Amino acid sequence: MKEPVVIHKGLDNVYVKESKICFIDGEASKLFYRGYSIEDLAEHSTFEETAYLLIYGSLPSKQQLKDFENRIQSNRSLEPELLQLIRSFPITSDPMDVLRTAVSALALYDPQPTTEKIEERIDKAVRILGKAPTIIAAFDRLRNRKEPVPPRPDLGHAADFLQMLTGETPDSYDAHVMDVALILHAEHEMNASTFSCTVTASTLADMYSIITSGIGTLRGPLHGGANEAALRTVMEVGDPARAEDYVTKALGEKKRIMGFGHRVYKTWDPRYVILKKLGAELASRKGETKLFDTAVAIEQSALRHLAGSPIFPNVDSYSGVVFHTLRIPTDLFTPVFAMSRIAGWTAHAIEYLEANRLIRPKALYVGQTSLPYIALDSRAG
């Protein structure tokens, strides 16, 4: 007898591979990259080191890290043709569309975009990783009628991004917060965008196609876009005193509180804990606490209303506030998430390719069959 078909809506609890990259214990508020806790990485690592760890599977030696940093750094400049292409984009473009298009276009300036060799695939990914911050910063400057600022070899990935965006060397604390934010966003197991990348990798497509599909999937408000939506909520509420009214009304209307809830975490998202602490410090150092305090008030109110449910704050409840305080424009939050997540996408694509099998699920057909074809002129309407 045929087994009854089970449809896994949202692919909830469906495993697509074994992995040594990331472990989330959603009940115990734990997140590990390659066995190292997110708390340790946020405290001791850098984005570059974390990217190396994710892609290569172990912490680098001093020399390996230096070489990897140099590889990223030497890829940060944009080819004149690519910069010209970005200049031609409408200044009203969504920066996520710009990043997706520019990353896809990078393949056109690679004499050999397709390769089956893993080390060469990683080279392509490092090329994309290096250029993503430059693409995002260059577009932001151009749309503000300013010239792009070239990358600086003396700065790390996070600091250089802020420098290319603002034209000023960031202070070391801002650079540190940015670096930690990149570490926290670098990887998160088999989420929607990582799955997209894995599906594309499974067809043996090139790294540009793989990362481009990840960027497209990350764009949606239920995934990468939630950080922007969460900040917009905090700004709309505007004052801690208005938080309770907002939350009561939103939940009463069955709306979702952005920055809350997670498919895997049924308790505190450990990235939220780290970002909230950094956000508090950043806000008080800059003497700009109102936005942060409003986010706290929304969180407290939502926690009271949602008590007893498994809905807790996720990474996005404070990432927007942190990015905003770092003077990053709101519509760059998701591109910033993407520029960090390229590390995780690459790690998963490479891991999957090591034991590849084309991903080809099924859909249960519930439509009709054998319908007689009706000529266009004979159809109603």
Q: Which residues contact ligand CMC (rule: CB under 6 A)?
A: 10, 188, 191, 222-223, 226, 256-263, 311, 314-316
Is 25 one of the annotated active-site residues of the chain?
no
44 is catalytic: no
Residue 120 Cβ vs ligand CMC, minimum distance, rounded to whole Å: 30
In the bound complex, what is the minimum distance in angstroms from residue 308's beta carbon to ligand CMC? 12
Q: How far is the CB of 220 from ligand CMC (least distance, A)?
A: 9
**Least spacing, CB of residue 207 vs ligand CMC, in Å:** 22
Token output for 23: 């472990």
Residue nearest to ligand CMC (CB): 261
**Which residue lies nearer to ligand CMC by CB, 96 or 315?**
315
Whole-number CA gyration radius for the chain: 22
**Tokens matching residue 107:** 């393949």
Q: Alpha helices, DSSP H only, in the chain?
A: 38-44, 47-56, 62-74, 80-88, 95-106, 118-143, 157-166, 172-185, 192-202, 207-218, 226-237, 243-252, 270-286, 290-305, 316-325, 333-353
Nearer to ligand CMC, 91 or 222 (CB): 222
Q: Among residues 157, 188, 262, 324, which one is catalytic?
A: 262
Longest dimension (CA), the chain: 74
Whichever of 82 and 332 has its CB closer to ligand CMC, that residue is 332
User: What are 192's two structure tokens?
Assistant: 């929607």
Question: What's the closest the beta carbon of residue 346 comes to ligand CMC, in angstroms?
Answer: 17
Nearest alpha-carbon partner for 316 in 227, 183, 219: 227
- In three-state secondary structure terms, 150 is coil
Q: Which is nearer to ligand CMC, 163 or 317 (CB)?
A: 317
Asked whether the beta carbons of 191 and 218 are under 8 A apart, the reply is no
Catalytic residue among 179, 316, 324, 348: 316
b/e map 184-211, b = 16+ CB within 10 Å = bbbbbbbbbbbbbbbbbbbeebbbbbbb
What is the Cα 52 distance to its own chain's centre? 17
Nearer to ligand CMC, 34 or 219 (CB): 219
> Which C-beta is closer to ligand CMC: that of 189 or that of 206?
189
CB of 256 vs ligand CMC, minimal distance in Å = 4
User: CA-to-CA distance for 35 and 346, rounded, in angstroms?
Assistant: 18
DSSP 313: B
Which residues are the active-site residues?
Answer: 262, 316
